[in-house]
Amino acid sequence: MTTLMESEEHRSLREAVATFAKNHPRTLDTGNRQLWQEAAKLGYIGVNLPETYGGGGGGITELSLVLEEMGAAGNPLLMMIVSPAICGTVISRFGTDAQKRDWLPSLADGTRLMAFGITEPDAGSNSHRITTTARRDGTDWLLTGRKVFISGVDIADATLMVGRTEDARTGRLKPCLFIVPRDTPGFERRQLDMELNAAEKQFELTLDDVRLPAEALVGDEDAGLLQLFAGLNPERVMTAAFGIGMGRYALARALEYARERTVWKTPIGAHQAIAHPLAQAHIDLELARLMTQKAAHLYDAGDDTGAGEAANMAKYAAGEACVKAVDQAVHTLGGNGLTREFGLAQLITASRVARIAPVSREMILNYVSHRTLGLPKSY
């Protein structure tokens, strides 16, 4: 059952993560591997992974809480969305015993990371147009295709790649997941030149007849969308937590400034033109957090259908709240909001990530329109 009140355990986890994150330099535009490893040692990175494999035995509820607090302290770890949330979850649920033994302990303790490759240049939001294909060659697989906007491939030890295989019964292509180690022959990467100022870089990937052993396939070849969405729902929840944390960080900087900055007789925060938009930003972030908690609880309870709807709504709400909070924070500081000293201007670009990725706000509105409201599809 979803509860509106956090447990004492969760509140304690929030406080511990917040204290940890505040005691480190900001990592938005610097390397954060050391921070990642320190967080892993404290059990934060693998909090959602099974205890049997060195994790904390929690769920996406706990992991999203960790990411939110890291972001609120100015230290968001984008790869938490990918490595433990998507890849760790998929391997935990569908991986073979050997894959679990090989990957889960090292994902939990921070010694290895895994990237996630789904987006393609010509597919965009339409995952049904993915053209990366896998075909059998004896007992091996040959994987060919292209991916784009894939985070952290340079620091990841492998990429969980979404390809498509042919269904022997129908001849139709169906999604399948493969673990592709970073140094596999035929697996090439090119860093994209992004305006986004972040520690985690973005890459275009090329797979040219990448040969993989049979054991690279994750889960059942016939499971298809079930396995894929087992990773995509946590991705949406975690992206929501990422946006909420960033919005909280921006709002906190604006509140500090508004309490102290005096141009007339009182601090500018005393004026409703400043105070009310900041109050609205806070309300929006809190509402987005409630939906994020609902989505996480539903997912952890095994309700994939309910979690899908809630996760999309949470991601939409958090993306909107994040952008508005950042915009209002910059506006509150005026010219100072655009200086490097105050560190808010770079969030103008970064906050858009929560609106655009991993699925656009428009596609979420499409989803709610036809899945929740029962309206006909336009595509």
Pick the CATH number of 116-218 from 3.30.110.70, 3.40.640.10, 2.40.110.10, 3.40.50.2300: 2.40.110.10
Share of the chain above pLDDT 90, in %: 82
Dihedral of CA atoms 329, 293, 237, 98 in degrees, nearest 10, equals: 140
Type and span of the H or E element at 70:
helix 60-72
Q: What's residue 32's pLDDT?
A: 79
Mean of pLDDT values over 354-368: 94
DSSP secondary structure of 256-287:
HHHHH-BSSSSBGGGSHHHHHHHHHHHHHHHH
Chain segment 112-152, per-residue pLDDT in tens: 999 999 999 887 666 667 889 999 999 999 999 999 999 99
Identical topology for domains 116-218 and 225-372:
no
How far is it, in rounded angstroms, from Cα 175 to Cα 184? 21
Chain segment 242-301, per-residue pLDDT in tens: 999 999 999 999 999 999 999 989 999 999 999 999 999 999 999 999 999 999 999 999
For the chain, the structural domain boundaries read: 8-113, 116-218, 225-372
Backbone torsions φ then ψ of 205, nearest 5 degrees: -115, 140
Tell me yes or no: is domain 225-372 CATH 3.40.50.11930. Answer: no
**Across 26-35, 50-59, 197-206, 212-221, least confident range:** 26-35
Q: Are the C-beta atoms of residues 168 and 141 closer than 8 Å to each other?
A: no
**Arch. (CATH architecture) of 8-113:** Orthogonal Bundle (1.10)
Backbone torsions φ then ψ of 106, nearest 5 degrees: -75, -30
